[in-house]
Amino acid sequence: ATACSPADPVADGTDSAILADGPETISSELAESDIPEGIRASAEERIPGMTIAEVERKERDGMVFYDVEGTRPDGSEVELDMLAEDDGSFQVVEVQRDIGWDAVPENARAVALATPDMFTPDRVIESVQNDGTVIYELFAPGKTDEPSAEISVSDGVAEMLTERWQY
């Protein structure tokens, strides 16, 4: 089973771009001394030379995640979302960066713009998954706490999501 699905028609036969509110998330920023060493090792393995600026611990849907923000050696900003595994290890589940709406691939923008209730996003996060799927998280004007819409692009096919991506 997947954690998301393409947009399903709503009662009037249209698709809505707007996602329901996500699950409650409990967040806490970690002090430098409280960052588990495994986080540093996982970050270095995924992005060699990454400088960690901030780590936030999040609990959501029975899972514990760490948002690891920092910079690549070239100075560009990057965020790694890591899942805390039962064995104490940390798995990078997505690599994120902010991009402009105009940098979203044309097929993804077209799917979004053809969807009723769509908006021009104030913020877009590009989230590259381990399998190569890219999730574009679209933040509506004035709503900064979570994305209002998400687009999945896998093997060149773009789809609006009706359920939040699991990560």
AA identity, residue 63: M
SS3 14: coil
pLDDT category of residue 21 using cuts at 50, 70 and 90: low
pLDDT of residue 151: 96
The residues, any chain, with a CB within 8 Å of residue 162's CB and separated by 6 or more, are 4, 5, 6, 7, 8, 15, 19
pLDDT category of residue 22 using cuts at 50, 70 and 90: low
pLDDT of 9 over the 50 cut? no
Q: Residue 115 phi/psi, 5° resolution? A: -95, 130
pLDDT category of residue 28 using cuts at 50, 70 and 90: confident
The lowest-confidence range among 11-20, 67-76, 154-163 is 11-20
pLDDT of residue 8: 39
pLDDT of residue 127: 97
Mean pLDDT of 58-67: 88
pLDDT tens for 67-81 read 999 999 999 999 999
